[in-house]
Copies of this chain bind each other. A is one copy, B any other.
Amino acid sequence: MQIREVPKLRSAHQKCGDCPIRHRAVCSYCDAHELAELDAIKLYRDFDAGQEIVGEGELTETLGSIVTGVVALHKTLEDGRRQMVGLLFASDFIGRPLRPIAPYDVIAVTPVRMCLFHRSQFEKIMQKHSALERRLLEMTLDELDSAREWMMLLGRKTAQEKVASFLVILARRNADLAKRPLTDGLVFTIPITRESMSEYLGLTIETVSRQMTALRKGGAINLIEKRMVEIADLDTLIELSGDGSDPSGWSRQAQPA
């Protein structure tokens, strides 16, 4: 559990200007001067897949952005039941300024590189320059919308709809990142295990597996590998996801205005 004891520090000290998440992360509204201030205090750190980044209830002395990789937020009940409450990707921000105690586990799902700041230093800069604060507010509002969409999924959707919805989200994100339209034939990998999927969707691992097979047999998807999906029939998949015309949501990836 405490692999965290030996954090890797490979300080591949990259200039912020070249950063792959420069235009989407919390720093995206910063001007050159502000960026320089952040640059001076930032710190890269790598985590292995499966490694715990922060434990539920812990005091966190750092916060920062995901540069590469996928991170999951988990809550656990005493008897071990677990629910994923966030799934974060490159450019997403981890840690809550002014709220030092983590209300959930933070776990690297794939190998992850973080761009970290010390809490107090970051908070100081944030109070000085509103660009950071503004962007963080935007990102938090988007997270909140996404959490609410997820609540609808957890509370009211069937197992089939949950799994289909999850695949649509992943497909959207992948099409987005590849700057390609979301169409039949799109192939992407599911970055998490079936077990994590079940924790995301409020199901058991068996039910997730059965629904994946059902979607495959129903012609909505092809399973190229267990973790590699091809969208065979997007319309069907969206239909099965329960939010057909999807007026509001899911696309948290909305461009930052």
Complex alpha-carbon distance, A139 and B248, angstroms:
23
B103 and A148 within 8 A (CB)? yes
A141 and B96 within 8 A (CB)? yes
Looking at the complex, which of A73-81, A173-181, A185-193, A206-214 is the stretch in contact with chain B?
A: A73-81
B202 and A77 within 8 A (CB)? no
A130 at the interface (CB under 8 A from B): yes
The residue in A137, A143, A244, A257 that gathers the most chain B C-beta atoms within 10 A of its C-beta is A137
Q: What 0/1 pattern do residues 113 to 140 of A give for CB contact below 8 A with B? A: 0000000000000010010011011101
A48 at the interface (CB under 8 A from B): no
The residue in A57, A142, A154 that gathers the most chain B C-beta atoms within 10 A of its C-beta is A154
- Given contact pairs A82-B156, A154-B155, A248-B103, A242 touches B98 in the complex (Cβ within 8 A): no
The residue in A77, A98, A130, A147 that gathers the most chain B C-beta atoms within 10 A of its C-beta is A147
Q: Could you tell me the distance in whole angstroms from the C-beta of A5 to the nearest C-beta in chain B? A: 22
Complex alpha-carbon distance, A4 and B201, angstroms:
36
Helix, strand, loop or mixed for chain A's interface? mixed
A148 and B257 within 8 A (CB)? no
Q: What 0/1 pattern do residues 57 to 89 of A give for CB contact below 8 A with B? A: 100000000000000010101100111011000
- Given contact pairs A77-B242, A248-B103, A151 touches B140 in the complex (Cβ within 8 A): no
Q: What 0/1 pattern do residues 86 to 122 of A give for CB contact below 8 A with B? A: 1000000000111101111000000000000000000
Query: Quick one: which of B102, B152, B202, B244 contacts A156, CB cutoff 8 A?
Result: B202
A36 at the interface (CB under 8 A from B): no
A198 nearest CB neighbor, chain B only: B155
Task: Kindly list chain B residues whose C-beta atoms are within 8 Å of the C-beta of A102.
Answer: 248
8 chain-A/chain-B pairs, Cβ below 8 angstroms: A75-B151, A77-B152, A78-B242, A86-B148, A103-B145, A103-B248, A144-B147, A156-B202
Residues of chain A whose beta carbon lies under 8 Å from any beta carbon of chain B: 56-57, 73, 75, 77-78, 81-83, 85-86, 96-99, 101-104, 127, 130, 133-134, 136-138, 140-145, 147-152, 154-157, 201-202, 242-245, 247-249, 257
